[in-house]
Amino acid sequence: MGGADQQAQRKAVFEPFSKATGTKITEDEYDYSVAKILAMVESKTVTWDVIDIAQADAMKLCDASILETIDWNKLGLHRSKVVGSDNFDCRVPSQISATVIAYDEDKLANGPKTIADLFDMQRFPGKRGLLKSPYANLDWALIADGVATKDVYKVLNTSEGLDRAFKKLDTIKKEVIWWTAGAQPPQLLADGQVIMTAAYNGRIFDAVKNSGKHFEIMWDAAVVTFNAWAIPKGDPRQDDAYKFIIFAASPQAQADLTRYIPYGPTNKHARALVDPAILTQLPTETDHDRVAVKVDSNFWADKGSELRQRFTNWLAK
């Protein structure tokens, strides 16, 4: 977690949960690498009771019996009321976020309108910031090359499609500044190092709200994904873990979270409690959802390691 997301969770979920239950929360941070979770479970020294995890990682760890199977009866919550809970046994979807393209309106008055503009060096000369990962970049490359958003993963599932995506990325490779942490894109924009950058929508919102930046989000082809709460296998405090997840998954807690960071709630009853002014900033807002790329977590669970290696080799060329 970390950064703006963790601060938002602290205000909307952690502190209210502790106040309501008397249960103290000890926070920790990790970089979403599953190595520490694996080590805890395999050595039977689980110290994290609840983890915030990406959906593809949750699927892999669930299949490897590294996470507890969620007992929805214990949660008192029907799966049909939670967006993204179908067919996933070891996690409770917590929020919906997006990787987007952002720019500084002070430096670029007429910014990008479609994902093709990310690759248009003539109309938008200058450096780009991109996540140092195949994630989102392969999706965007294919869409910019003419693939319909709904067909992205069908094409990526072919060797020809992958070749096509990397060939498109070749066209801007020399103009990219690669970033690895969510705090970097707002800084790259603020410093004028890039003309536009991939970024997490919550980080851009935070920079605008709390640092007075005039950053804008271009929502076309935003790559939308879920995060989830999960319990490591063998956790000795599962009762407390369930109490926390019940609280965090409640409509009120999820609606409160949007006041601090614009990530869409997964509890379907939460939307009615969200400030209408905030709804327009969520990845789940109708106009944004209509043009979004829905991440295929099965694809990344199956092929993520292989693609990260290919991406690393491509960068080194």
* CATH code where residue 126 lies: 3.40.190.10
Q: For residues 317 and 181, what is the distance between their CA atoms, to the nearest angstrom?
A: 23
Q: Are residues 165 and 89 in the same domain?
A: no
Last residue of a domain, one of 193, 223, 253: 223
Residue type, 275: D
Residue 240: inside a domain, yes or no?
Answer: yes
Q: pLDDT digit string (tens) for 186-215?
A: 999 999 999 999 999 999 998 998 899 999
The count of domains in the chain is 2
Is residue 251 located within the same domain as residue 200?
Answer: no
103 and 215 housed in the same domain: yes
Q: Tell me: do 276 and 193 sit in the same domain.
A: no
Residue 2 has a pLDDT of 65
Give a yes or no: residue 258 inside a domain. yes
| Same domain for 200 and 231 | no
Q: Quick one: 202 and 122 in the same domain? A: yes
**Together in a domain, 193 and 235:** no
Per-residue tokens: 150: 């709904």
Q: Copy the structure tokens of residue 77.
A: 């919550």
Domain assignment present for 302: no
pLDDT tens, N- to C-terminus, the chain (317 residues): 567 789 999 999 999 999 999 999 999 998 888 899 999 999 999 999 999 999 889 999 999 999 999 999 999 988 899 998 877 789 999 999 999 999 999 999 999 999 999 999 999 999 999 999 999 999 999 999 999 999 999 999 999 999 999 999 999 999 999 999 999 999 999 999 999 999 999 999 989 988 999 999 999 999 999 899 999 999 999 999 999 999 999 999 999 999 999 999 999 999 999 999 999 999 999 999 999 999 998 899 899 999 999 999 999 99
Q: 118 with 264, same domain? A: no
- Please state, in angstroms and rounded to a whole number, the distance separating the CA atoms of residues 112 and 103: 8
Q: Is residue 314 part of a domain?
A: no
Same-domain check for residues 196 and 246: no
Q: Is 151 left (phi over 0), alpha (psi -120 to 50) or beta?
A: alpha
- 28 part of a folded domain: yes
Q: Are residues 52 and 199 in the same domain?
A: no
CA-CA distance, 25 to 6, in Å (whole number)? Answer: 13
223, 241, 258: which is the final residue of a domain?
A: 223
Q: Is 306 part of a structural domain of the chain?
A: no
Query: By CB neighbour count within 10 A (0-12 exposed, 13-18 middle, 19+ buried), where does 306 fall?
Result: exposed
Domain that residue 184 falls in: 98-223
Are both 76 and 120 inside the same structural domain? Answer: no
Domain boundary among the residues 195, 223, 251 is at: 223
Judge whether 233 and 41 are in contact, CB under 8 Å.
yes
Q: Does any domain span residue 165?
A: yes
Does residue 15 sit in the same domain as residue 40? yes
312 falls within a domain: no
pLDDT at 1: 57
